[in-house]
Structure 1
Amino acid sequence: MLCFRRVFRPFYCFSLKKTAFLRHNSSIQKTIDSKTDLLLRILYESPVCPPIEFSEEELERHEVIHRAWQIHKRIKREELDKQLEKQYNKMKRACIELERTDKRLFKAAMKKKKYYFPVEMRIPTETPPVEIWKYNWATCSEGSKT
């Protein structure tokens, strides 16, 4: 895999004014406070500097890196799609096999439930929790939730 490093950084240039303008009741007032001045300048003033001009070599390098990154993202997306398709096909085959072997279990497995996932449980994530298992966990109807 190619190693890419950051070539271009975002560049913003703000003009250094001593006073900022604050719109109040459709009239313009000057602010004296330096904190307010700084906040207004950072939040509402658009960049004044023109965009950076690249040489042909830099532009070509940027395009190559961008294309390589897009290809990398596409490959990762296709791998994930293949993995999900394999999982789906395995689930489908397992359901067909369960239907052939035991109709009662198949109907119980395919039965629609009112709730798909307990709301009071931890949200599923890709990283493990700090506390692996809550041994005294109970639903709201069973007792106190910890």
Structure 2
Amino acid sequence: MRLSPVLASLANVFKIPLSKSTITPTTGTRSFSTTNALLKRKGNAPRGDRRVTLIRYFLWHPLTPRPLRFSRTRFLRHWTIHRAWQLFQAQQRRAHQLELQRQWQAMQGACEELRVGAGDGGKLFRKSMNKKGIFRDLFPIEYGRMQTEAPSREGWNHEWKRMEKK
């Protein structure tokens, strides 16, 4: 039995050996299935990939809404509204980015003016950029009180005094 040239070339590409046993159909007592008989029984079946099972479950679950099916005009309307929303959001992002850039450049300009234009040789600039003493005992000041959603019930304790270090 000869294979078609297409099948022969595919077998050659995918490195499938073409022996007599693969070409000629088998007859006799050999089973059609290649699965072991013990595996066919209930409970012994090989389990598939869990991710594929979950994807199938959520895709075909009865509570999963069916995909939208639109006519041409309705699809075009939907696409136009969606595209307009995307453009609007991009415009907002661009405006926000430009505002942040403007603020950063204003701060850079102020720092540069402080460095060269204050007339004190940059002393005020160096003093403002000094980060010494911001963290006391290497602990940020924001963590001095536990972060909560609401203010405390007692309010501010005006009698509190800092403990003296010994």
**TM-score, scaled to structure 1:** 0.48
Q: Normalized against structure 2, the TM-score is what?
A: 0.43
In terms of fraction of residues, the more helix-rich structure is: 2
Of Structure 1 and Structure 2, the greater strand share is in 1
